[in-house]
Amino acid sequence: MVSSNAVDVDAYLAELPEPDRAVLSRLRDLCRDELAGFEEVMAYGMPGYRRDGVMEVAFARQKRHVSVYLMREDVTAALADRLADQDMGRGCLRFRSPGAVDLDLVRDLLRATAATRGPAR
């Protein structure tokens, strides 16, 4: 799934086959747990989390990977050593399969995002 027309995150997750649904549901749970004060939205066909009207985190099941979008360059720079061996694009952390998603790394990125204020990308 590259983009979804789902109206909310529940509908987005319901569209996914297993094991994709299980892993992306876990990503959602992490976002909800770690991003207190953020609003959960559907944007650009994927679940996203915004603070003060600014999107800071999103995730999606793409055709060949699971993506976690991190819009805070300060957070990715601060955790550069942990991200060095990861498949990274500009603001996009890619996992080759649902089973490859490093939930501990994602949790740490979300915690750092929540703790960091100021302009995002």
What domains can you pick out in the chain, each with its CATH number? Answer: 9-115 (3.90.1150.200)
- The tokens for 109 are 């990125």
Per-residue pLDDT of the chain (121 residues; tens, 9 = 90+): 457 889 999 999 999 998 899 999 999 999 999 999 999 999 999 999 999 999 999 999 998 999 999 999 999 999 999 999 999 988 899 999 899 999 999 999 999 999 998 777 6
Which positions ≥6 away from 109 have C-beta within 8 Å?
68, 70, 75, 76, 79, 93
